[in-house]
Structure 1
Amino acid sequence: MSIDRNLLKPEIIDFVKQHENHNIPELILKGSPFKSVSIQQIAQQIKGRQVAKAKFPKFYDCETIIYPPKLNLEQSSSEIAANYKAQFINTNDKVIDITGGMGIDTLAFAQKTKQISYCEMQSKTFDYANHNLEILNSNIELHQTDGIEFLKKNKTKYDLIYIDPSRRNKHQKKVFKLEDSTPNVLEYLGLFQSKSNRVLIKTSPLLDLKYCLSKINLITEIHIVAITNEVKEILLLIDFNPDKSSPVLKAVNLETEQINFQSPLSLSDCLPKISEPKTYLYEPNATIMKSGLFGELSTQFKLSALAKNTHLLTSDKLVDFPGRRFMIKSMISPKQKDLKKHIPNLKANVSSRNYPLKPEQIKAKYKIKDGGDCYVFFTSDFNNQKIVLICDKIQN
């Protein structure tokens, strides 16, 4: 076993907890106060607790967790994202995670079914997961093996196979296309179909949705998952017994009060209505921007767009919306005298959409200070005229 069980000594656990908010490089310079473990091992555990506090609360709350290196922490799903994926699991489903990693997703799945298997090819990563998952859940069947080879040899028919392919090549450089990841899921679709009813694939947030649909024709759902407005992952659900309806896109922004958005992907070419600014302004969240479904968004919420490429919406009636909402106080030109008149003390929160300057360039040009309660959008209208919208933010 590659993990050092000396890290479980009470005095070392206490030291890690007491120093979890300390500067790690400074601690390393002081050296280890213990003969049985190195300062590098202690630093790895402190870093683990620092990350786990926000990303893996279940791990953080358990003192006997032993944390893997930083790269594993970065590559793993967060607990909140793993819990979202657990919705795909039904009670008594037979589920296998063939790229187990830290096991955060597997652990979430184990809350829904007792028939859950975990495979991990890397022996060091497996050793950490073997220790941690046995502490937190005894129902998970753990296998230190290549998940693809395990599927080939195993006669079990699973209800769902979960895959989080490694998005680093042999030179440890990041990749994001399906065929460049490990395993290459496109190569093994036939195997997955023979071994399961459904497959759930976690992919890079950089992945293009049309590319996904062009590569896999059995996708039934695409989920764009953001946490506090940062897209973290794209999920592809493959159903080998699908109905004939169009694939559905679902956009969710976790840890916010924003409503979710759902649309058939067949409406991806739908164009929004265009109008001049009305009473309210709407800024789509990151998941909507990733989806590109602005036409269907405007149709569902009965909104108009300011221009074809602006991606700001407007209405006279306030509606719930997957993004930020504002009341428009004034529409002015981007002239210094108008800005001074309408922006108190030239202090505002500046945004730029379909405008030649970025927010930082705008603030520098017009000497606008950041912050305050005033929200200012530099944009263009449907006549391609540059306009500035002075707004108050509406709390959700």
Structure 2
Amino acid sequence: MYINNDTLRFIAEHRNDNVPQLALAAHNSPNVDLPFALDQIAGWQTACRKLPSWAKNPNIVYPPHLSMEQCSSQTTAEYKANVAWRLVNDIQQATPNNSEGGKGNCDKKQVGECEHTSLADLTGGFGVDFVFMAPHFAQATYVERQSKLCQLVQNNLNALDIGHAEVVCAEAESHLKTMERVSCIYLDPARRDKNGGKTVLIEHCSPDILQLLPMLLAKCGLLMVKLSPMLHWQLAIAQLQEHGAWVSQLHIVSAKNECKELLFLITDRQNHAQCLSQAAAQSGQLHPTPLENPTPQQATGTANSTHITCYNDGNSFQYSLAEADATPQTILQTPPQAGMYLFEPNASIMKAGCFGMLCSRLGVQAIAPNSHLFVANNDLPDFPGRRFKLVATTSFNKRHLKAALQGISKANIATRNFPLKPEALRKKLRLKDGGEHFLFATTDAQGKHWLLVAKG
């Protein structure tokens, strides 16, 4: 990909500048491709935050702003790459003479070291997910309909020394019709309508996954689909299975306590039992662990045997839908007391809604069915979320409030199952933002409002 020297020099000189101000300034460099240079400067600044290993590589070329904002971060891309490696390896071991050509029992560090494994990313985009997944496969094909993105990704594959990957400029649907069967197909369908507005429902994505499912399942051993974190995932699982797909795993992936994506892992029913033995990544190392003592539903593949992994910055909480359906929350029957420990689940747990599993496994109690706040008499260092020590609890009686908040001039305020939003409550309590105290306003199981004063 040719870039003239004047443009390269401009990018290097202004890499740390404010891009909007740089765009408005007068420049006496007629040989500089200014729109391209601004994209590179803005892209590099974003990469420092999202793709730190790429930001260190001077030969990476970045796309326009929207593609940079929509692309995966390095953290989530690495997570998907490890999940793909483990699950494809599991399928290979289960089917040593499978149609993907695997030899079975491949226990090498990367699937790419095993012969004949193959990946097809049919919605390549900027290629972040593809670049992190490709080294795990012996063959990898990137498919993208935009020729400019194809050129950019080919440049970046060369810059990152990924020489075994093929770039194909084509529509996903047309390439799917003619491609050979592969070990894994990856899809990150567009979630914007023709006017650029965001879409959430699976049937509104492009390409249309539901319509293409029969062909997709015929062309791969594993189908990985990344969808919006705003999606109603229970409905999506039901829709996929109604169309003949078996959703063996769902990964709810968060970074810095913000839910980033839903990753659906779809296999045929012949392989689903083996796939269910692969839980998503263990904390820190991202190595899936076997699902112990599978239930009859998990062994036979009924609708609630999908295995769920809630992942957030190295913390992984795993369960099956069958377990969750059979495990209600334990509700606190007495008012919360100072001295108790308060727990707020992370973003992935909140999205999953597996609150009964938290109660069952960790011994916590929910303040109310819809509070999404939990208490226990002892600290739980491994709780998947934030932990606090309650220093005071109070009703909203003026005298009680004044006593509980004595000496507190500022606090971090959150509301759960409470009629006021945090800013309105802050104004009512006349407190500044910040400080060492955390205030949680909530409603207990008897309908009484409480203010919980805590420290982290």
Equivalence for 2:350: 289
In structure 2, give the amino acid aligned to 1:274.
I
In structure 2, give the amino acid aligned to 1:242.
H
2:7, 2:31 within 8 Å by CA — same for their partners in 1?
A: no
Which moved further from structure 2: 125-134 or 361-370?
125-134
C-alpha separation between the residues in 1 aligned to 2:240 and 2:20?
46
1:96, 1:161 within 8 Å by CA — same for their partners in 2?
A: yes
Equivalence for 2:32: 37
1:336, 1:366 within 8 Å by CA — same for their partners in 2?
A: no
Per-residue CA deviation, residues 212-243 of structure 1 (Å, 9 max, x unaligned), is 11111210111110110001100000011312
Which moved further from structure 2: 177-186 or 240-249?
240-249
C-alpha separation between the residues in 2 aligned to 1:33 and 1:197?
56
In structure 2, give the amino acid aligned to 1:26.
Q
After TM superposition, the runs of 4+ consecutive aligned structure 1 residues lying more than 6 A away are none
Give the match's secondary structure for 1:134. helix
2:3 equivalent among 6, 26, 31 = 6
> CA shift at 1:97, angstroms?
0.6
Per-residue CA deviation, residues 120-172 of structure 1 (Å, 9 max, x unaligned), is 11112212112112221222111111233222112x22111000001112222
Give the match's secondary structure for 1:345. coil
In structure 1, give the amino acid aligned to 2:375.
T
1:31, 1:39 within 8 Å by CA — same for their partners in 2?
A: no
2:229, 2:259 within 8 Å by CA — same for their partners in 1?
A: yes
2:188, 2:225 within 8 Å by CA — same for their partners in 1?
A: yes
C-alpha separation between the residues in 2 aligned to 1:55 and 1:66?
15
C-alpha separation between the residues in 2 aligned to 1:290 and 1:17?
42
Equivalence for 2:54: 59
Equivalence for 1:101: 125
C-alpha separation between the residues in 2 aligned to 1:33 and 1:297?
62
C-alpha separation between the residues in 2 aligned to 1:298 and 1:20?
50
> CA shift at 1:382, angstroms?
1.7
Alignment of 1:190-201 (within 5 A): 190-201=214-225
Equivalence for 2:81: 86
Equivalence for 1:299: 360
2:451 equivalent among 383, 388, 396 = 388
> CA shift at 1:301, angstroms?
1.1
Equivalence for 2:238: 214
In structure 1, give the amino acid aligned to 2:386.
R
> CA shift at 1:31, angstroms?
3.4
In structure 1, give the amino acid aligned to 2:356.
G
Alignment of 1:346-357 (within 5 A): 346-357=409-420
Tell me the number of residue pairs that the alignment of Structure 1 and Structure 2 aligns.
Answer: 384
Equivalence for 1:265: 321
Shift in alpha-carbon separation, 1:31–1:128, aligned structure 2, 3 A = farther
1:237 equivalent among 250, 255, 265 = 265
> CA shift at 1:34, angstroms?
2.7
Give the match's secondary structure for 2:351. helix
Q: Tell whether 2:186 aligns with 1:162.
A: yes
Per-residue CA deviation, residues 223-280 of structure 1 (Å, 9 max, x unaligned), is 11011000110000001131225101110112xx6x3211111244432111132511
C-alpha separation between the residues in 1 aligned to 2:138 and 2:197?
36
C-alpha separation between the residues in 2 aligned to 1:195 and 1:39?
43
Equivalence for 1:16: 11
TM-score by length of 2: 0.81
> CA shift at 1:336, angstroms?
4.0
- Calculate percent identity across the aligned residue pairs: 34
Please list every run of 5 or more consecutive structure 1 residues that lacks an aligned counterpart in the other structure: none
